[in-house]
């Protein structure tokens, strides 16, 4: 078992690598935040589905890509060595609204549009376009 210092960056890299290898799905170790990020991407129709497999110590996420979507451009913004926080006034649309930013806020994990509606800021985890 390998130790991962940045679990969100690891998830994004697994998705990026699987898409560049033309795979229809990928697997990633389960964590609550990884599952919430993937479910948010399914809600926004960036991914087709996400399922949790296995028993508690060895749970995994099975991520299925949307066949009609092109490869996602996933960019990690806030890193373990340098956290990036944005207030609601500083949140700008990604690619003029064609992309999304994912934030962790006091309201939970939200997209940038949901955070602007709820008027909350937080840690900017990543952008997807």
For residue range 110-123, list pLDDT tens digits in order. 999 999 999 999 99
pLDDT band at 71 (very low <50, low <70, confident <90, very high): confident
Q: Is 80 exceeded by the pLDDT of residue 3?
A: no
Q: Residue 55 and residue 50: Cα distance in Å, rounded?
A: 16
Topology (CATH level 3) of domain 74-128: Dna Ligase; domain 1 (3.30.1490)
Q: Where in the chain is the domain with CATH 3.30.1370.30?
A: 7-65
Q: Hey, what are 52's tokens?
A: 């949790």
Q: Where in the chain is the domain with CATH 3.30.1490.10?
A: 74-128
In CATH, the architecture of 7-65 is: 2-Layer Sandwich (3.30)
HSE-CB of 84 using CA atoms within 13 angstroms:
13
| pLDDT confidence of residue 128 | 94
Tokens 């991962």 map to which residue?
A: 4
């Amino acid at each position: 078992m390998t130790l991962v210092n940045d679990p969100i960056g690891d998830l994004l890299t697994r998705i990026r690598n699987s898409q560049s290898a033309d795979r229809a799905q990928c697997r990633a170790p389960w964590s609550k935040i990884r599952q919430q990020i993937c479910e948010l991407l399914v809600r926004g129709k960036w991914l087709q589905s996400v399922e949790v497999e296995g028993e508690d110590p060895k749970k995994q996420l099975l991520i299925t890509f949307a066949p009609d979507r092109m490869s996602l451009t996933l960019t990690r913004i806030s890193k373990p060595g340098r956290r990036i926080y944005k207030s609601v006034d500083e949140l700008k649309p990604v690619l003029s609204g064609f992309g999304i930013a994912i934030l962790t806020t006091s309201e939970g994990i939200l997209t940038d549009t949901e955070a602007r509606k709820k008027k909350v800021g937080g840690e900017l985890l990543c952008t997807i376009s």
